Amino acid sequence: MTPVWLQAWWQVFGEGWQLYIREVRDGDTVIGIAPLMIRENAACFIGGTDVCDYQDFIVAPGMEKEISTVLLDDLKSNGIKQLELKHVRPDSVVYSRMVDIARERDRSVECTAEEVSVEMGLPGAWEEYLERLSSKQRHEVKRKLRRLTEAGEINYKWADNITTVPGFMDLFFRMFTESRADKAEFLTEQREAFFRNIVDKMSAAGLLKLGVLELDGREMASIICFDYNNTVYLYNSGYDPEYNYLSVGLLSKVFCIQKSIEAGREKFDFLKGAEIYKYHLGGQEIPLYKCEIRIK
């Protein structure tokens, strides 16, 4: 929901939409922002579910009711008939407050669980994290790490600026498309442009983390994360299938978690998707909803 993220998305995917950004003030104080776009009398978040995991309105604490009321009135006065919001978390302003307020105002509301996100709190030390895993998964992580270190000299580059890892994006796209057929199909020219755009912008904003796992100087896996508000968000990753026998895809995430703990971060967010490795590494499931509000 940061301006830099929304700008990156809009620059690549915004054609055919009209911006509908609403700022709500109490005197000179901004108490809410609704980053919306509209098409055919329907409004939705700026962004798409293919590259944005979950979204929400930006609201000052305690002002949820006021913002929801003002926004619903504003949409109606401007001829917007439908508010289509996805995906939102249970603790979002949309799901926890706005839908109830809309129902109180006799609006038609439908919320449906469509996806899941997976996240976990981080302890203060790596060994404490390992102890939190089930005995089976703790054994598996240690076994895989041991086998990897026995294969040669291991190095995990952890960088916060794209310029410090020359050629990273080309390396990432090669691994991204080679690691899984569905990822290769996903990576259209337009989505590749977005990935490059968002990495550049988040790097400039100081919110980027890049990981590259190497064995004897050879790159085996790569990872893109975002570091914001004491949370590391695992956005996407890829690996060289030649090293699949060393579980480098999984271990690139393990090293990422370790680096996040060492940096003192409080939460690790695997983001949208129910891939089994997320649960094996300690993640807990969070439902994501599609909420539709009919504006009368």
Q: Where are the domains of the chain?
A: 3-115+289-294, 123-265
pLDDT at site 286? 98
Indicate whether 296 pLDDT > 80.
Answer: no
Same topology for domains 3-115+289-294 and 123-265, yes or no? yes
Q: How confident is the model over 182-193, as pLDDT tens digits?
A: 999 999 999 999
Q: Which CATH number fits domain 123-265: 1.20.58.220, 3.40.630.30, 3.40.190.10, 3.40.50.450?
A: 3.40.630.30
Is residue 67 a contact partner of residue 31, using CB atoms and an 8 Å limit? yes
Is residue 74 a contact partner of residue 252, using CB atoms and an 8 Å limit? no
Reported confidence tier of residue 6, pLDDT bands at 50, 70, 90: very high
* Whole-number average pLDDT of the chain: 96
Cα torsion angle, 72, 74, 80, 85, sign: negative
pLDDT at site 100? 95
Q: Which helix (H) or strand (E) holds 86?
A: strand 82-88
**Which top CATH class is 3-115+289-294?**
alpha beta
Which residue, 134, 131, 107, 132, is CA-closest to 120? Answer: 132
- pLDDT above 90 covers a percentage of the chain that reads 98
The conformation of residue 98, written as its DSSP 8-state character, comes to I
- Name residues whose C-beta falls within 8 Å of residue 122's C-beta, 6 or more positions apart in sequence: 129, 257, 260, 261, 265, 266, 267, 268
Q: How confident is the model over 86-136, as pLDDT tens digits?
A: 999 999 999 999 999 999 988 999 999 999 999 999 999 999 999 999 999
